Amino acid sequence: MLLRGRPRALGAAALLLLLLIGFFLFGGDPDYGRPRSRGAAAFDGDPPADPGGHNSSDCIPPPPLPPPKCELLQVAIVCAGHNSSRDVITLVKSLLFYRKNPLHLHLVTDAVARNILETLFHTWMVPAVQISFYDADELKPQVSWIPNKHYSGLYGLMKLVLPSALPPDLARVIVLDTDVTFASNIAELWALFAHFSDKQAIGLVENQSDWYLGNLWKNHRPWPALGRGFNTGVILLQLDRLRQAGWEQMWKLTAKRELLTLPATSLADQDIFNAIIKEHPWLVQPLPCMWNVQLSDHTLAERCYSEASDLKVIHWNSPKKLHVKNKHVESFRNLYLTFLEYNGNLLRRELFGCPCPPPPGAEQLQQALAQLEEQDACFEFRQQQLAMHRVHITFLPHKPPPPQPHDVTLVAQLSMERLQMLEALCRHWPGPMSLALYLTDAEAQQFLRFVETSAVLSARQDVAYHVVYREGSLYPINQLRNVALAQALTPYVFLSDIDFLPAYSLYSSLRASIEQLELGGKRKAALVVPAFETLHYRFSFPSSKAELLTLLDAGSLYTFRYHEWPQGHAPTDYARWREAQAPYRVQWAADYEPYVVVPRDCPRYDPRFVGFGWNKVAHIIELDAQEYELLVLPEAFTIHLPHAPSLDIIRFRSNPTYRDCVQALKDDFHQDLSRHYGAAALKYLTALQQPRGPV
């Protein structure tokens, strides 16, 4: 997270310290003689110095230790905001990929990050991972008095308070910045605690830049540090010893003293850690350099990895992150992208050889899955219904709309092939939106770039994008709708579909209608927005109801699915709508599936409907069964744009088994309806038995 390095030629003092640190690391191991001489050659031809009389090199790892089998490893991370939350997930993916131990993650978060990460880990269901949250905002007062110039802000200082913030019985923890990537098993890092002497309490890798040498530019006055100092992107903290040593007093005293002569910290917590270590060098256990390979601009890290075939942790500690210039950055980037794009579902694999309680709900899910029969013709549907989708809410920065009593959020869901609808949708709907996107991890990154390169989309902060990660072969349409619906923050929602563009005036007219009709107060109603369709890509969107009627009469527009599925919208009564000046009530009829505006606390969609068919119909039945009035708005309209048929529709049309399975879902649904609403549900069953056209 922190930029900590712009190398220059090394001074003699620095060299001395470097070698001293090397001694700490490898003193006495004769195997490390060769790399030292090569490492020394990198220092501008200076002759190798050997002040300690030891043959050491700080960038060669000690032989790997066998990781302690099944020991619970403790990890702490400070994380705030939408972007850091995405970073932390990539870090955790790399961590989980290589780990073979149970983990306990201690996450110090602001409200935004907590909201995101709590949902994510809950839906991720990774075995043998415990999560604890700590409120960063509560900890703020402990560090807010420190003037800090680093871009990470107050959160950058928060690692200082971990010994008191974490549970008192927690003795050891590995602390990680959000911008590190693991390339190895964290148990090997944990095993380095065993190298600590009785007094050492902080394990750190040397800073791989010359920042703390103070010779980077004229009048550069860094905080005091031992030689090149240490980087705090990866820390082994012996919490019990720090508490015993009076850590809280210690760091506050040091910070206050230095702040008498220095105006502020430049590198946040790292400045203070270094000042303390300078004062109490017995506290620090230097770690092998490959446990924190720092890719700041002009980093000196190459000395570390040019000798090592075995990099352990990569630290993207330049504000340029992946765009940092570095001869080898392509290789590091590939490692990072591996985890950025990695299908996180695959990390749900259990740890062999370590008995661990399964995550909440996992056992029931396993049992339900085990009861499915692969021979069942609808196996795919049943499996899809049981799929537990990872959910990353507010994937991009999002500002909730200021609370307004009649505000309405557009709710919809989509996958990659409908991304091109987003810009047009933003132009048509200037209000808040809550959109669920069904994506793979790799697609989520493509989506991110798509938004970043779109001026229209990146200008909008009131559109919340919730990524639901793909799993299974059928589109879980109602589960997606429920995610988007649950995240809507206004009192009302407009339940739309992504291939519709609303009238330009719809957002403002809906708010007016909600107010006029006193919705939410006495009245329990669903406002119907009449739906139309065009069959042409290029068409000029009507700016008024009058214009729309002209296009309708000219045959340029139709009422929605007039040719294929008229019963879906017939109850809206388009003939009446033509003339209507005021909202009018309509009655439910079989297969009715209008687009409606309802209070946020409306019934959820039935998640059993996956793939194509009947998913919205069931929801309208539920509204009717709960006695929502259906009120058609006289000026409102929305228009469907053409698109190639989805793979699910194609399968529905071409595959009789698929249709049979949808029928089976309908039957199940009706049974549940009868159970729930009793005689009141009779009308739905009766309607079902009328002879009709295809579904």
Pick from 94, 120, 95, 96: which is nearest to 109 by CA? Answer: 120
Under the binding rule (CB under 8 A), the answer on residue 70 touching a copy of itself is yes
Judged by phi (left if over 0) then psi (alpha if -120 to 50, else beta), residue 434 lies in beta
Q: Which 563-622 residues touch a copy of itself, going by CB under 8 A?
A: 563
Amino acid letter at 37? S
Task: Tally Cβ neighbours within 10 Å of residue 615.
Answer: 24
**Window of 308-316, 511-519, 609-617, 676-684 that interacts with a copy of itself by CB under 8 A:** 308-316
Task: Report if residue 41 touches a copy of itself, rule: CB under 8 A.
Answer: no
- 217 vs 537, which CB is nearer to a copy of itself? 537
Closest CA to 100 of 61, 62, 71, 74: 71
Which residues between 450 and 509 bind a copy of itself (CB under 8 A)?
450, 473
**Toward a copy of itself, which CB reaches closer, 248 or 423?**
423
Do 295 and 233 form a contact (C-beta atoms < 8 A)?
A: no
Q: With contacts defined by CB under 8 A, name the span among 21-29, 61-69, 218-226, 488-496 that binds a copy of itself.
A: 61-69
Q: Determine which residue in the list 199, 349, 523, 676 makes contact with a copy of itself, applying CB under 8 A.
A: 349
- State phi, psi for 351 to the nearest 5 degrees: -90, 120
CB of 420 to a copy of itself, least distance (A): 5
Query: In this chain, which stretch among 58-66, 215-223, 565-573, 679-687 interacts with a copy of itself, using CB under 8 A?
Result: 58-66
- Among 348, 524, 604, 659, indicate the residue that binds a copy of itself (CB under 8 A): 348
CA distance 37 to 49: 10
Report if residue 310 touches a copy of itself, rule: CB under 8 A: yes
Q: How far is the CB of 333 from a copy of itself (least distance, A)?
A: 9
Q: Is 693 in the site for a copy of itself (CB under 8 A)?
A: no
Cα 59 from Cα 291, distance rounded (Å)? 10
Beta strands at 230-238 and 103-109: parallel, antiparallel or unpaired: unpaired
- Segment interacting with a copy of itself (CB under 8 A) among 225-233, 397-405, 637-645, 687-695: 637-645
Residue with tokens 């006695």: 627
Vertex 91, ends 88 and 97: CA angle to 5°? 140
Restricted to residues 89-128, the positions that interact with a copy of itself (CB under 8 A) are 100-101
Cβ atoms of 163 and 239 within 8 Å: the answer is yes
Q: Evaluate whether 183 touches 311 at the Cβ level (below 8 Å).
A: yes
Query: Considering beta carbons, is residue 66 or 693 the nearer one to a copy of itself?
Result: 66
Nearer to a copy of itself, 97 or 134 (CB): 97
- Amino acid identity of residue 29, one-letter, is D
Q: Considering beta carbons, is residue 334 or 581 the nearer one to a copy of itself?
A: 334
Scan for tokens 């749900």, then name that residue.
Answer: 348
Per CB under 8 A, the list member of 218, 522, 536, 675 interacting with a copy of itself is 536
Separation of alpha carbons 95 and 550, rounded Å: 61
Taking a C-beta distance cutoff of 8 angstroms, is the pair 643, 418 a contact? yes
Find tokens 């469907």 and name the residue.
Answer: 640
The residue from 63, 402, 678, 693 that contacts a copy of itself (CB under 8 A) is 63
Q: How far is CA 164 from CA 132, 238, 248, 282, in A?
A: 15, 12, 8, 21
SS (H, E, C) 215-275: CCCCCCCCCCCCCCCEEEEEEEEEHHHHHHCCHHHHHHHHHHHHCCCCCCECCCHHHHHHH
Spatial separation of the C-alpha atoms in residues 30 and 492, rounded to whole Å: 72
Q: How far apart (Å, rounded) are the C-alpha atoms in residues 393 and 371?
A: 31
Interface with a copy of itself (CB under 8 A), residue total 61
When the beta carbons of 27 and 64 are compared against a copy of itself, the nearer one is 64
Supply the angle between the helices 379-386 and 362-371 in degrees, to the nearest 10: 180
Residue of 137, 145, 150 whose CA lies nearest to 78: 137
Comparison of 179 and 307: residue with beta carbon closer to a copy of itself? 307
Pick the closer one to a copy of itself by CB: 148 or 296: 296
CA distances from 279 to 157, 237, 253 (A): 19, 18, 11
Q: Is 342 in the site for a copy of itself (CB under 8 A)?
A: yes
Q: How far is the CB of 535 from a copy of itself (least distance, A)?
A: 6
Among 115, 130, 338, 556, which residue sits at the site for a copy of itself (rule: CB under 8 A)?
A: 338
Which residue lies nearer to a copy of itself by CB, 198 or 374? Answer: 374
- Please select the residue that binds a copy of itself; options are 13, 512, 535, 685, rule is CB under 8 A: 535
Q: What are phi and psi of 104, to 5 degrees?
A: -120, 115
Q: Which is nearer to a copy of itself, 474 or 480 (CB)?
A: 474
Exactly one of 115, 123, 164, 343 binds a copy of itself (CB under 8 A); which one?
343
Interaction between residue 308 and a copy of itself (CB under 8 A): yes
Of the candidates 283, 419, 488, 632, which one interacts with a copy of itself according to CB under 8 A?
Answer: 419
In this structure, are residues 160 and 272 in contact, taking their beta carbons and an 8 Å threshold?
yes
Taking the complex as a whole, the smallest distance from the CB of residue 65 to a copy of itself amounts, in Å, to 9
Q: Contact between 319 and a copy of itself (CB under 8 A)? A: no
Dihedral sign for Cα 99, 2, 394, 426, please: negative
| Nearest approach, Cβ of residue 414 and a copy of itself (Å) | 12
Q: Footprint of a copy of itself on residues 646-665 (CB under 8 A)? A: 646-647, 650, 654
Contact residue for a copy of itself among 587, 645, 667, 685 (CB under 8 A): 645
Using the minimum distance from each CB to a copy of itself, give the nearer residue, 253 or 322: 322
The answer to whether 350 and 361 are in contact (CB under 8 A) is no
Report the nearest approach of a copy of itself to the CB of residue 667 (Å).
Answer: 25
Among 335, 426, 486, 552, binds a copy of itself (CB under 8 A): 335
Helix 247-258 and helix 269-279, axial crossing angle in degrees, nearest 10: 100
- Tell me the C-alpha distance between 637 and 572, whole Å: 11
66 binds a copy of itself (CB under 8 A): yes
- Supply the minimum distance, in Å, between the C-beta of residue 546 and a copy of itself: 25
Q: Whole-number minimum distance, CB 326 to a copy of itself, in Å?
A: 12
Binding mask 421-460 for a copy of itself (x = CB under 8 A): --x----------------x-x------xx----------
Cβ atoms of 429 and 529 within 8 Å: the answer is no
Q: Does 346 bind a copy of itself (CB under 8 A)?
A: yes
Those residues whose C-beta lies under 8 Å from the C-beta of residue 163, and which sit 6 or more positions away, are 237, 239, 242, 243, 247, 248
For the chain, the first-to-last Cα distance in angstroms comes to: 55
The interface region with a copy of itself, picked from 129-137, 150-158, 352-360, 616-624 by CB under 8 A, is: 352-360
- Rounded to the nearest angstrom, the gap between the alpha carbon of residue 666 and the centroid of all alpha carbons in its chain is 34
Query: Is-contact 224 275, C-beta < 8 A?
Result: yes
User: x-or-dash pattern for a copy of itself, window 199-238, by CB under 8 A?
Assistant: ----------------------------------------
CB of 332 to a copy of itself, least distance (A): 8
Q: Rounded to the nearest whole angstrom, what is the least distance from the CB of residue 331 to a copy of itself in the complex?
A: 4
**Residue 413, both tokens:** 């869901």
Q: Which of 219, 217, 193 is nearest to 204 (CA)?
A: 193
- Interacting span for a copy of itself (CB under 8 A) from 85-93, 133-141, 301-309, 596-604: 301-309
Binding interface with a copy of itself (CB under 8 A): 63-64, 66, 69-70, 100-101, 305-311, 323, 328, 330-331, 334-335, 337-338, 341-343, 345-354, 374, 416-420, 423, 440, 442, 449-450, 473, 535-538, 563, 641-647, 650, 654
